[in-house]
Chains A and B, each alone.
Chain A
Protein backbone atom coordinates (compact mmCIF):
# COMPACT_ATOMS: atom_id res chain seq x y z
CA UNK A 1 0.00 0.00 0.00
CA UNK A 2 1.14 3.53 -0.75
CA UNK A 3 1.09 6.38 1.75
CA UNK A 4 -1.08 9.28 0.64
CA UNK A 5 -0.93 11.37 3.77
CA UNK A 6 1.06 11.35 6.99
CA UNK A 7 -0.94 12.49 9.98
CA UNK A 8 1.80 11.98 12.56
CA UNK A 9 4.55 9.54 13.49
CA UNK A 10 2.08 6.79 14.22
CA UNK A 11 -0.83 7.38 11.86
CA UNK A 12 -0.85 7.42 8.08
CA UNK A 13 -3.45 7.39 5.37
CA UNK A 14 -2.67 4.93 2.61
CA UNK A 15 -4.15 3.70 -0.62
CA UNK A 16 -4.57 0.00 -1.08
CA UNK A 17 -3.99 -0.71 -4.77
CA UNK A 18 -4.86 -4.35 -4.30
CA UNK A 19 -8.31 -3.23 -3.15
CA UNK A 20 -9.32 -0.87 -5.97
CA UNK A 21 -7.46 2.03 -4.45
CA UNK A 22 -9.47 1.98 -1.22
CA UNK A 23 -8.27 4.34 1.49
CA UNK A 24 -7.10 2.90 4.77
CA UNK A 25 -5.91 4.55 7.94
CA UNK A 26 -3.02 2.62 9.44
CA UNK A 27 -1.79 2.99 12.97
CA UNK A 28 1.40 1.56 14.33
CA UNK A 29 4.36 2.79 16.28
CA UNK A 30 6.62 4.94 14.13
CA UNK A 31 4.69 4.04 10.99
CA UNK A 32 4.70 7.66 9.80
CA UNK A 33 8.21 8.52 10.89
CA UNK A 34 10.33 9.79 8.02
CA UNK A 35 7.70 8.68 5.51
CA UNK A 36 6.48 10.80 2.63
CA UNK A 37 3.38 10.59 0.48
CA UNK A 38 4.00 8.12 -2.32
CA UNK A 39 6.22 5.88 -0.21
CA UNK A 40 5.38 2.25 0.23
CA UNK A 41 4.33 1.07 3.65
CA UNK A 42 4.05 -2.48 4.86
CA UNK A 43 0.52 -3.03 6.16
CA UNK A 44 1.83 -5.83 8.34
CA UNK A 45 3.51 -3.18 10.50
CA UNK A 46 0.16 -1.61 11.36
CA UNK A 47 -1.31 -2.54 14.70
CA UNK A 48 -4.76 -1.46 13.58
CA UNK A 49 -6.39 -0.64 10.28
CA UNK A 50 -9.47 1.49 9.76
CA UNK A 51 -11.45 2.12 6.64
CA UNK A 52 -12.92 5.60 6.36
CA UNK A 53 -16.52 5.85 5.28
CA UNK A 54 -19.66 7.89 5.80
CA UNK A 55 -19.10 10.66 8.27
CA UNK A 56 -15.76 9.18 9.18
CA UNK A 57 -13.34 11.01 7.02
CA UNK A 58 -9.66 10.08 7.24
CA UNK A 59 -9.01 13.42 8.98
CA UNK A 60 -11.59 12.70 11.62
CA UNK A 61 -10.25 9.22 12.22
CA UNK A 62 -6.74 10.59 12.56
CA UNK A 63 -7.89 13.29 14.99
CA UNK A 64 -9.75 10.67 16.98
CA UNK A 65 -6.78 8.37 17.24
CA UNK A 66 -4.69 11.29 18.33
CA UNK A 67 -6.91 12.37 21.18
CA UNK A 68 -8.94 9.46 22.40
CA UNK A 69 -6.95 7.24 24.76
CA UNK A 70 -6.04 3.92 23.17
CA UNK A 71 -7.55 2.01 26.10
CA UNK A 72 -10.91 3.68 25.45
CA UNK A 73 -10.76 2.65 21.81
CA UNK A 74 -9.88 -0.90 22.79
CA UNK A 75 -12.76 -1.12 25.24
CA UNK A 76 -15.11 0.30 22.60
CA UNK A 77 -13.83 -2.37 20.24
CA UNK A 78 -14.73 -5.03 22.79
CA UNK A 79 -18.21 -3.49 23.15
CA UNK A 80 -18.69 -3.58 19.38
CA UNK A 81 -17.68 -7.25 19.27
CA UNK A 82 -20.08 -8.13 22.07
CA UNK A 83 -22.81 -6.11 20.39
CA UNK A 84 -22.30 -7.99 17.17
CA UNK A 85 -22.58 -11.27 19.03
CA UNK A 86 -25.83 -10.10 20.58
CA UNK A 87 -27.54 -8.26 17.75
CA UNK A 88 -25.93 -9.51 14.57
CA UNK A 89 -23.98 -8.19 11.64
CA UNK A 90 -25.52 -4.75 11.52
CA UNK A 91 -23.27 -3.97 14.46
CA UNK A 92 -19.98 -3.25 12.78
CA UNK A 93 -16.77 -1.30 12.72
CA UNK A 94 -18.64 1.86 11.77
CA UNK A 95 -19.82 1.97 15.37
CA UNK A 96 -16.33 1.92 16.83
CA UNK A 97 -15.54 5.63 16.75
CA UNK A 98 -18.91 6.95 17.84
CA UNK A 99 -18.86 4.45 20.71
CA UNK A 100 -15.27 5.21 21.68
CA UNK A 101 -16.09 8.88 21.59
CA UNK A 102 -19.08 8.41 23.83
CA UNK A 103 -17.27 6.09 26.22
CA UNK A 104 -14.43 8.54 26.52
CA UNK A 105 -16.87 11.36 27.19
CA UNK A 106 -18.73 9.34 29.83
CA UNK A 107 -15.50 8.38 31.61
CA UNK A 108 -14.34 11.96 31.48
CA UNK A 109 -17.57 13.19 33.06
CA UNK A 110 -17.33 10.51 35.72
CA UNK A 111 -13.80 11.69 36.54
CA UNK A 112 -14.80 15.33 36.65
CA UNK A 113 -18.02 14.60 38.52
CA UNK A 114 -20.20 16.28 35.90
CA UNK A 115 -23.66 14.84 35.49
CA UNK A 116 -25.85 15.62 32.54
CA UNK A 117 -29.46 14.91 31.78
CA UNK A 118 -30.19 12.81 28.75
CA UNK A 119 -33.04 13.53 26.46
CA UNK A 120 -35.60 10.79 25.86
CA UNK A 121 -34.67 8.76 28.94
CA UNK A 122 -38.07 7.26 29.42
CA UNK A 123 -38.67 6.83 25.69
CA UNK A 124 -35.46 4.93 25.07
CA UNK A 125 -35.99 2.69 28.08
CA UNK A 126 -39.55 1.91 27.06
CA UNK A 127 -39.16 1.55 23.31
CA UNK A 128 -35.85 -0.30 23.07
CA UNK A 129 -35.69 -2.75 25.99
CA UNK A 130 -33.19 -5.14 24.32
CA UNK A 131 -30.69 -2.39 23.66
CA UNK A 132 -31.07 -1.01 27.16
CA UNK A 133 -30.57 -4.44 28.72
CA UNK A 134 -27.41 -4.91 26.67
CA UNK A 135 -26.18 -1.46 27.64
CA UNK A 136 -26.52 -2.30 31.31
CA UNK A 137 -24.16 -5.20 30.67
CA UNK A 138 -21.81 -2.69 29.05
CA UNK A 139 -21.80 -0.65 32.24
CA UNK A 140 -20.74 -3.77 34.13
CA UNK A 141 -18.04 -4.44 31.54
CA UNK A 142 -16.74 -0.89 31.94
CA UNK A 143 -16.54 -1.43 35.69
CA UNK A 144 -14.65 -4.69 35.21
CA UNK A 145 -12.17 -3.21 32.77
CA UNK A 146 -11.70 0.25 34.19
CA UNK A 147 -12.86 0.11 37.79
CA UNK A 148 -15.32 2.95 37.20
CA UNK A 149 -18.99 2.51 37.82
CA UNK A 150 -20.88 4.75 35.45
CA UNK A 151 -24.35 5.88 36.55
CA UNK A 152 -27.24 3.61 35.46
CA UNK A 153 -28.51 6.44 33.31
CA UNK A 154 -25.49 6.01 31.05
CA UNK A 155 -27.15 2.92 29.61
CA UNK A 156 -29.43 5.27 27.67
CA UNK A 157 -26.90 6.79 25.26
CA UNK A 158 -25.18 3.44 24.72
CA UNK A 159 -28.54 1.93 23.88
CA UNK A 160 -29.27 4.67 21.41
CA UNK A 161 -26.05 3.93 19.55
CA UNK A 162 -27.23 0.37 19.01
CA UNK A 163 -30.72 1.50 18.03
CA UNK A 164 -29.12 3.82 15.52
CA UNK A 165 -27.26 0.88 14.05
CA UNK A 166 -30.36 -1.34 14.06
CA UNK A 167 -32.29 1.21 12.06
CA UNK A 168 -29.37 1.75 9.70
CA UNK A 169 -29.30 5.40 10.54
CA UNK A 170 -26.15 7.37 9.97
CA UNK A 171 -27.36 10.39 11.81
CA UNK A 172 -28.24 10.16 15.49
CA UNK A 173 -30.46 13.23 15.35
CA UNK A 174 -32.81 11.37 13.02
CA UNK A 175 -32.97 8.50 15.50
CA UNK A 176 -33.74 10.96 18.26
CA UNK A 177 -36.55 12.62 16.34
CA UNK A 178 -37.93 9.22 15.46
CA UNK A 179 -37.82 8.09 19.08
CA UNK A 180 -39.62 11.21 20.20
CA UNK A 181 -42.27 10.69 17.57
CA UNK A 182 -42.78 7.00 18.47
CA UNK A 183 -43.29 7.84 22.12
CA UNK A 184 -45.69 10.66 21.27
CA UNK A 185 -47.72 8.31 19.05
CA UNK A 186 -48.00 5.69 21.79
CA UNK A 187 -49.00 8.40 24.27
CA UNK A 188 -51.69 9.64 21.92
CA UNK A 189 -53.07 6.14 21.44
CA UNK A 190 -53.05 5.54 25.19
CA UNK A 191 -54.93 8.69 26.00
CA UNK A 192 -57.33 8.53 23.06
CA UNK A 193 -58.41 4.97 23.74
CA UNK A 194 -57.73 4.88 27.46
CA UNK A 195 -55.76 1.65 27.17
CA UNK A 196 -52.52 0.30 28.47
CA UNK A 197 -49.87 -0.63 25.92
CA UNK A 198 -47.16 -3.07 26.80
CA UNK A 199 -44.16 -1.89 24.76
CA UNK A 200 -42.56 -5.30 24.97
CA UNK A 201 -45.53 -7.07 23.44
CA UNK A 202 -45.41 -8.37 19.89
CA UNK A 203 -48.19 -6.04 18.78
CA UNK A 204 -46.39 -2.99 20.09
CA UNK A 205 -43.15 -4.11 18.47
CA UNK A 206 -44.94 -4.52 15.16
CA UNK A 207 -46.52 -1.13 15.55
CA UNK A 208 -43.15 0.47 16.22
CA UNK A 209 -41.71 -1.26 13.17
CA UNK A 210 -44.59 0.14 11.15
CA UNK A 211 -43.90 3.61 12.52
CA UNK A 212 -40.26 3.14 11.67
CA UNK A 213 -41.13 2.69 7.99
CA UNK A 214 -43.60 5.52 8.19
CA UNK A 215 -40.73 7.68 9.43
CA UNK A 216 -38.53 6.57 6.52
CA UNK A 217 -41.27 7.39 4.05
CA UNK A 218 -41.58 10.83 5.63
CA UNK A 219 -37.86 11.41 5.34
CA UNK A 220 -37.82 10.36 1.73
CA UNK A 221 -41.03 12.21 1.02
CA UNK A 222 -42.36 9.16 -0.77
CA UNK A 223 -46.06 8.49 -0.94
CA UNK A 224 -47.13 5.75 1.44
CA UNK A 225 -46.29 2.44 -0.17
CA UNK A 226 -46.74 3.04 -3.84
CA UNK A 227 -50.01 1.16 -3.92
CA UNK A 228 -53.15 2.61 -5.34
CA UNK A 229 -55.48 4.39 -2.98
CA UNK A 230 -57.37 1.63 -1.31
CA UNK A 231 -60.63 3.49 -1.25
CA UNK A 232 -62.96 0.57 -0.60
CA UNK A 233 -60.86 -0.82 2.23
CA UNK A 234 -60.43 2.64 3.65
CA UNK A 235 -64.18 3.20 3.77
CA UNK A 236 -64.76 -0.21 5.27
CA UNK A 237 -62.28 0.34 8.06
CA UNK A 238 -63.45 3.87 8.72
CA UNK A 239 -67.01 2.71 9.22
CA UNK A 240 -66.36 -0.55 11.02
CA UNK A 241 -63.66 0.75 13.40
CA UNK A 242 -64.81 4.27 14.19
CA UNK A 243 -63.01 4.51 17.55
CA UNK A 244 -59.67 3.34 16.18
CA UNK A 245 -60.09 5.49 13.10
CA UNK A 246 -60.69 8.57 15.23
CA UNK A 247 -57.60 7.66 17.24
CA UNK A 248 -55.55 7.38 14.03
CA UNK A 249 -56.80 10.81 13.02
CA UNK A 250 -55.68 12.19 16.37
CA UNK A 251 -52.26 10.61 15.81
CA UNK A 252 -52.08 12.15 12.37
CA UNK A 253 -52.98 15.59 13.73
CA UNK A 254 -50.36 15.27 16.48
CA UNK A 255 -47.64 14.19 14.04
CA UNK A 256 -48.47 17.07 11.72
CA UNK A 257 -48.47 19.63 14.46
CA UNK A 258 -45.39 18.57 16.39
CA UNK A 259 -43.24 16.85 13.82
CA UNK A 260 -44.38 18.27 10.52
CA UNK A 261 -45.24 14.85 9.10
CA UNK A 262 -47.84 14.48 6.39
CA UNK A 263 -49.95 11.35 6.36
CA UNK A 264 -52.12 10.51 3.39
CA UNK A 265 -55.23 8.36 3.32
CA UNK A 266 -53.33 5.09 2.92
CA UNK A 267 -51.15 5.89 5.92
CA UNK A 268 -54.25 6.63 7.94
CA UNK A 269 -55.67 3.28 6.93
CA UNK A 270 -52.57 1.36 8.00
CA UNK A 271 -52.36 3.31 11.22
CA UNK A 272 -55.96 2.44 12.01
CA UNK A 273 -55.31 -1.28 11.46
CA UNK A 274 -52.30 -1.23 13.77
CA UNK A 275 -54.16 0.72 16.42
CA UNK A 276 -57.02 -1.76 16.20
CA UNK A 277 -54.54 -4.53 16.93
CA UNK A 278 -53.15 -2.73 19.95
CA UNK A 279 -56.62 -2.05 21.24
CA UNK A 280 -57.67 -5.68 20.78
CA UNK A 281 -54.55 -6.81 22.63
CA UNK A 282 -55.31 -4.41 25.47
CA UNK A 283 -58.88 -5.72 25.66
CA UNK A 284 -57.57 -9.30 25.76
CA UNK A 285 -55.13 -8.65 28.54
CA UNK A 286 -57.75 -6.68 30.46
CA UNK A 287 -60.14 -9.60 30.14
CA UNK A 288 -57.43 -12.02 31.21
CA UNK A 289 -56.56 -10.06 34.33
CA UNK A 290 -60.23 -9.54 35.10
CA UNK A 291 -60.77 -13.29 34.71
CA UNK A 292 -58.07 -14.08 37.17
CA UNK A 293 -59.75 -11.81 39.65
CA UNK A 294 -58.27 -11.04 43.02
CA UNK A 295 -55.54 -13.67 42.72
CA UNK A 296 -53.72 -11.58 40.13
CA UNK A 297 -52.40 -8.80 42.30
CA UNK A 298 -51.54 -9.63 45.85
CA UNK A 299 -49.39 -6.62 46.64
CA UNK A 300 -51.00 -4.04 44.38
CA UNK A 301 -54.47 -2.64 44.70
CA UNK A 302 -56.91 -4.23 42.24
CA UNK A 303 -56.48 -2.79 38.78
CA UNK A 304 -59.36 -4.49 37.07
CA UNK A 305 -61.43 -1.37 36.65
CA UNK A 306 -58.44 0.54 35.39
CA UNK A 307 -57.80 -2.11 32.78
CA UNK A 308 -61.24 -1.87 31.25
CA UNK A 309 -61.98 0.92 28.83
CA UNK A 310 -61.92 3.94 30.99
CA UNK A 311 -59.91 7.01 30.19
CA UNK A 312 -57.39 6.56 32.93
CA UNK A 313 -53.96 8.01 33.31
CA UNK A 314 -51.60 7.82 30.37
CA UNK A 315 -48.73 7.02 32.67
CA UNK A 316 -47.33 3.52 32.45
CA UNK A 317 -48.73 2.18 35.69
CA UNK A 318 -47.58 -1.02 37.27
CA UNK A 319 -50.32 -3.25 36.07
CA UNK A 320 -50.26 -6.93 36.74
CA UNK A 321 -51.19 -8.00 33.25
CA UNK A 322 -49.50 -11.30 32.38
CA UNK A 323 -46.18 -11.18 30.62
CA UNK A 324 -45.13 -7.82 32.00
CA UNK A 325 -41.52 -7.50 32.86
CA UNK A 326 -41.20 -3.85 33.56
CA UNK A 327 -38.43 -2.90 35.90
Chain B
Protein backbone atom coordinates (compact mmCIF):
# COMPACT_ATOMS: atom_id res chain seq x y z
CA UNK B 1 0.00 0.00 0.00
CA UNK B 2 1.41 3.34 -0.97
CA UNK B 3 1.50 6.26 1.40
CA UNK B 4 -1.04 8.06 -0.75
CA UNK B 5 -3.41 5.19 -0.13
CA UNK B 6 -2.66 5.28 3.57
CA UNK B 7 -3.34 8.98 3.74
CA UNK B 8 -6.58 8.49 1.84
CA UNK B 9 -7.59 5.76 4.30
CA UNK B 10 -6.91 8.01 7.28
CA UNK B 11 -8.80 10.90 5.76
CA UNK B 12 -11.73 8.66 5.00
CA UNK B 13 -11.77 7.37 8.57
CA UNK B 14 -11.62 10.87 10.11
CA UNK B 15 -14.20 12.18 7.69
CA UNK B 16 -16.80 9.77 8.99
CA UNK B 17 -16.32 6.90 6.59
CA UNK B 18 -17.50 6.03 3.15
CA UNK B 19 -21.17 6.73 3.84
CA UNK B 20 -20.53 10.24 5.01
CA UNK B 21 -18.84 11.29 1.77
CA UNK B 22 -21.15 12.28 -1.02
CA UNK B 23 -18.62 13.61 -3.42
CA UNK B 24 -14.86 13.93 -3.72
CA UNK B 25 -13.45 16.72 -5.81
CA UNK B 26 -10.17 18.49 -6.00
CA UNK B 27 -8.37 21.54 -7.26
CA UNK B 28 -4.71 22.40 -7.51
CA UNK B 29 -3.91 21.94 -3.82
CA UNK B 30 -7.18 21.12 -2.13
CA UNK B 31 -9.23 18.05 -1.61
CA UNK B 32 -12.89 18.96 -1.52
CA UNK B 33 -15.44 16.78 0.16
CA UNK B 34 -19.18 17.11 0.08
CA UNK B 35 -20.37 15.54 3.31
CA UNK B 36 -23.66 14.05 4.38
CA UNK B 37 -23.08 15.09 7.98
CA UNK B 38 -20.35 17.72 8.50
CA UNK B 39 -20.44 17.14 12.26
CA UNK B 40 -19.29 13.57 11.83
CA UNK B 41 -15.86 14.84 10.77
CA UNK B 42 -12.98 14.85 13.23
CA UNK B 43 -11.46 18.12 12.06
CA UNK B 44 -8.79 18.16 14.77
CA UNK B 45 -7.58 14.70 13.79
CA UNK B 46 -7.38 15.70 10.13
CA UNK B 47 -5.52 18.92 10.88
CA UNK B 48 -3.12 16.96 13.09
CA UNK B 49 -1.97 14.92 10.09
CA UNK B 50 1.46 16.20 9.05
CA UNK B 51 0.47 16.21 5.37
CA UNK B 52 -2.44 18.58 5.95
CA UNK B 53 -1.70 22.32 5.80
CA UNK B 54 -5.14 23.55 6.83
CA UNK B 55 -8.83 22.83 6.47
CA UNK B 56 -11.93 24.95 6.10
CA UNK B 57 -15.48 24.73 4.91
CA UNK B 58 -16.59 26.87 2.01
CA UNK B 59 -19.35 26.65 -0.53
CA UNK B 60 -20.71 23.51 1.07
CA UNK B 61 -17.43 21.70 0.73
CA UNK B 62 -15.09 20.59 3.45
CA UNK B 63 -11.70 21.47 2.01
CA UNK B 64 -8.42 19.91 3.00
CA UNK B 65 -5.28 21.72 1.83
CA UNK B 66 -2.72 19.10 0.90
CA UNK B 67 -0.35 20.85 -1.51
CA UNK B 68 1.53 18.82 -4.08
CA UNK B 69 0.12 15.42 -3.18
CA UNK B 70 -3.48 16.24 -3.75
CA UNK B 71 -3.93 14.57 -7.12
CA UNK B 72 -2.80 11.13 -6.03
CA UNK B 73 -4.57 11.24 -2.70
CA UNK B 74 -7.69 12.37 -4.54
CA UNK B 75 -7.66 9.41 -6.90
CA UNK B 76 -6.94 7.03 -4.04
CA UNK B 77 -9.81 8.46 -2.00
CA UNK B 78 -12.19 8.35 -4.94
CA UNK B 79 -11.46 4.69 -5.36
CA UNK B 80 -12.10 4.07 -1.68
CA UNK B 81 -15.34 5.99 -1.68
CA UNK B 82 -16.52 4.21 -4.81
CA UNK B 83 -16.10 1.02 -2.86
CA UNK B 84 -13.53 -0.43 -5.19
CA UNK B 85 -11.16 -0.90 -2.29
CA UNK B 86 -7.83 -2.31 -3.22
CA UNK B 87 -4.31 -1.36 -4.11
CA UNK B 88 -4.85 -2.15 -7.77
CA UNK B 89 -5.84 1.39 -8.72
CA UNK B 90 -3.64 2.33 -11.67
CA UNK B 91 -3.99 6.06 -11.10
CA UNK B 92 -3.02 5.74 -7.44
CA UNK B 93 0.09 3.69 -8.01
CA UNK B 94 1.66 5.95 -10.62
CA UNK B 95 5.16 6.62 -9.28
| Chain A interface residues toward B at CB < 8 A | 55, 59-60, 63-64, 66-68, 98, 101-102, 104-105, 108, 114, 116-120, 157, 160, 172-173, 176-177, 258-260
Determine if A177 and B71 form an interchain contact, defined as CB atoms under 8 angstroms apart: yes
Determine if B90 and A68 form an interchain contact, defined as CB atoms under 8 angstroms apart: no
B59, B65, B74 — which one has the most chain A CB atoms within 10 A of its CB? B59
Provide the residues of chain B in CB contact with A120, threshold 8 Å.
Answer: 68
Complex CA–CA separation, A283 to B85 (angstroms): 50
Main secondary structure of the interface of B (DSSP, over half): mixed
Q: Tell me the residues in window 63-89 of chain B with beta carbons closer than 8 Å to chain A beta carbons.
A: 65, 67-71, 74-75
Binds A, one of B9-17, B21-29, B41-49: B21-29
Determine if A119 and B94 form an interchain contact, defined as CB atoms under 8 angstroms apart: no
Closest residue on chain B to residue A174 by CB atoms? B71
Main secondary structure of the interface of A (DSSP, over half): helix
Please tell me if B91 contacts chain A, counting CB pairs below 8 Å: yes
The residue from B56, B67, B75 contacting A119, defined by CB atoms under 8 A apart: B67
Complex CA–CA separation, A59 to B26 (angstroms): 18
**In the complex, what's the smallest C-beta–C-beta distance from A176 to chain B, in angstroms?**
5
Complex CA–CA separation, A83 to B94 (angstroms): 34
Determine if A68 and B26 form an interchain contact, defined as CB atoms under 8 angstroms apart: no
Determine if A117 and B71 form an interchain contact, defined as CB atoms under 8 angstroms apart: no
Please tell me if B54 contacts chain A, counting CB pairs below 8 Å: yes
**In the complex, what's the smallest C-beta–C-beta distance from A15 to chain B, in angstroms?**
22
The residue from B27, B53, B54, B56 contacting A98, defined by CB atoms under 8 A apart: B27
Determine if A118 and B26 form an interchain contact, defined as CB atoms under 8 angstroms apart: no
User: Per-residue CB proximity of B26-62 to A under 8 Å, as 1/0?
Assistant: 1111100000000000000000000001101011100
